[in-house]
Amino acid sequence: MRGKRAAVALSGGVDSVVLLHLLKDQGVKAIHVHHGLSPNADAWAQFCRELCKQWKVPLTIRRVRVAKAGEGPEAAARAARYSAFKRIKEDQIFVAQHLDDQAETVLMNLLRGAGVAGARGMPAEGRFGRKRLLRPLLEVSRDDILAYAGEQGLKWVEDESNADETLTRNFVRRRLAPLIAARFPRWRQSLARAARHFSGVELDARALLREFLAAQGLRAPSEAKLVEMLKQLTSRGARTLVEHEGMRLRVYRGRLAVEPAAPEAPFAPLRWQGERRLAIPALGGELRFRRSRGKGIDAKHKSLLVRLRAGGERLQPDPRRPRRTLKNLFQEAGVPPWQRERLPLLFSGETLVWAPGLGVDAAYQARAQGLGVLPEWRRLDPV
């Protein structure tokens, strides 16, 4: 694994159990995403705990909130899952998608009219953010995976939702696949081979957007929707927002940003009175305060108000430079407009004391060798 920190996405199903069994002696960790959608979700998490304890594999369990609205439960769960993956420290994530998954993905993409990029299916190696997403079982069939699990005496859990044919993938797997296999027994291998051929086709702007979405773990949209998405994202409006598969896409300074499309919770101002940590669930994170010498907020200020921007705030983080508007400072720091409105700010009365990523106002900074408190804003996983 070339010295990179790696994790295996472990659902508890046979595919991921087999993948972890193959990699467990390679220094990997495991991550289990607890969606909370099934009455058996807690039991699945417990199964993963016991399995990893038995195999001496470190395990991280992430609870996520799956958005109710959007493009359906499959897309929402996928978006929540990849959001959790982004927040772990490992550089590489191994997922257990296999040959049957690949063939089904290509077929569904083609039926939706996704075009050449959809025909590529899932890449054996992709990226989302700075992380690599690896699919080492992509050419291994489900039958071979089950055979291996039986030979090794492995145990796994069954997801009851796999029988729900209202979900597109289950309909394809349970209804269409047997009909196709009756006439074309090797249809899965054929579609997977076609996907490899299509992966070499030169990309245009629309295909590049599809590639970007695939790297984020999002399925390819229809051709019509893709054209509309591309049109909106290239409009150069700082407030342009496109929603796709439970995620929000925005462009700022030529860069495309993706984040979960969760509704904004109402926020009421909070009082900080010297705590080491101050949880702010409405903003999806917590403020942490670390004591320091000669840095941060002068320790004599032991009670500050946490609230959001109201407009017109000014800050002077550098005493050698004039006081400037928060808007200008955020622009200089490259903070996207949509993030500025949901950042916790510390105030003393009506005076802004500290802003995330910008620092402490000169009038409130700790003196040299004096005791200070360094605030830090940490975004946390949804629960």
Say whether pLDDT at 264 is over 90: no
With vertex at residue 220, the alpha carbon angle to CA 214 and CA 226, rounded to the nearest 5 degrees, is 115
- In DSSP terms, 325 is beta-bridged to 314
Check: CB of residue 6 under 8 Å from CB of residue 90: yes
Say whether pLDDT at 10 is over 90: yes
Q: Is the dihedral of CA 35, 38, 40, 44 positive or negative?
A: negative
- In DSSP terms, 377 is beta-bridged to 287
Residue 225, amino acid: K
pLDDT digits (tens, 9 = 90+) for 75-116: 777 778 888 888 888 989 999 999 999 999 999 888 887 777
Distance between alpha carbon 55 and the CA centroid of its chain, in Å?
A: 27
* pLDDT at residue number 382: 44
User: Confidence band (pLDDT; 50, 70, 90) for 234?
Assistant: confident
* pLDDT at residue number 206: 77
User: Confidence band (pLDDT; 50, 70, 90) for 138?
Assistant: very high
pLDDT digits (tens, 9 = 90+) for 350-366: 999 999 999 999 999 99
**What pTM did the predictor assign?**
0.57
pLDDT digits (tens, 9 = 90+) for 191-230: 998 888 777 655 568 777 887 888 888 887 887 888 888 8
CA distance 258 to 79: 10
Mean pLDDT for all residues in the chain = 87
The percentage of the chain sitting over the pLDDT mark of 70, rounded to a whole number, equals 93
With vertex at residue 268, the alpha carbon angle to CA 379 and CA 342, rounded to the nearest 5 degrees, is 40
Say whether pLDDT at 285 is over 60: yes
Check: CB of residue 17 under 8 Å from CB of residue 7: no
Q: Residues 163-190: what's their mean pLDDT? A: 91
Q: Which fold has domain 6-201?
A: Rossmann fold (3.40.50)
Q: Residues 283-287: what's their mean pLDDT? A: 91
Taking CA atoms, 248 is separated from 128, 194, 218, 260, in Å, by: 15, 31, 11, 6
Say whether pLDDT at 67 is over 80: no
Smallest CA-to-CA distance from 117 within 207, 217, 244, 225 is with 207
Question: DSSP E strands: which ranges in 205-332?
Answer: 242-244, 247-252, 255-260, 270-272, 277-280, 285-293, 297-298, 304-307, 314-315, 324-325
* pLDDT at residue number 2: 53
Q: Where are the domains of the chain?
A: 6-201, 270-379
Which segment of 43-47, 75-79, 186-190, 197-201 scores lowest on mean pLDDT? 197-201
Does 161 or 359 have the greater pLDDT score? Answer: 359
Q: By CB neighbour count within 10 A (0-12 exposed, 13-18 middle, 19+ buried), where does 324 fall? A: middle
Give the tokens for residue 40: 């058996």
Does 28 or 212 have the greater pLDDT score? Answer: 28
| DSSP output for 45-104 | HHHHHHHHHHHT--EEEEE----SSSS-HHHHHHHHHHHHHHTSS-SEEE----HHHHHH
Which segment of 41-45, 103-107, 262-266 scores lowest on mean pLDDT? 262-266
* pLDDT at residue number 383: 35
pLDDT digits (tens, 9 = 90+) for 266-284: 899 999 999 999 999 899 8
Which segment of 133-142, 143-152, 238-247 scores lowest on mean pLDDT? 238-247
**End-to-end C-alpha distance for the chain, whole angstroms:** 31
If phi > 0 it is left, if psi is from -120 to 50 it is alpha, else beta; for residue 104 that is: alpha
The percentage of the chain sitting over the pLDDT mark of 90, rounded to a whole number, equals 50
Say whether pLDDT at 157 is over 70: yes
Which segment of 113-127, 241-255, 320-334, 349-363 scores lowest on mean pLDDT? 113-127
* pLDDT at residue number 64: 84
Say whether pLDDT at 236 is over 90: no
pLDDT digits (tens, 9 = 90+) for 120-135: 888 888 877 778 899 9
* pLDDT at residue number 261: 76
* pLDDT at residue number 201: 58
* pLDDT at residue number 251: 85
Smallest CA-to-CA distance from 137 within 106, 84, 101, 177 is with 101
User: Confidence band (pLDDT; 50, 70, 90) for 48?
Assistant: very high
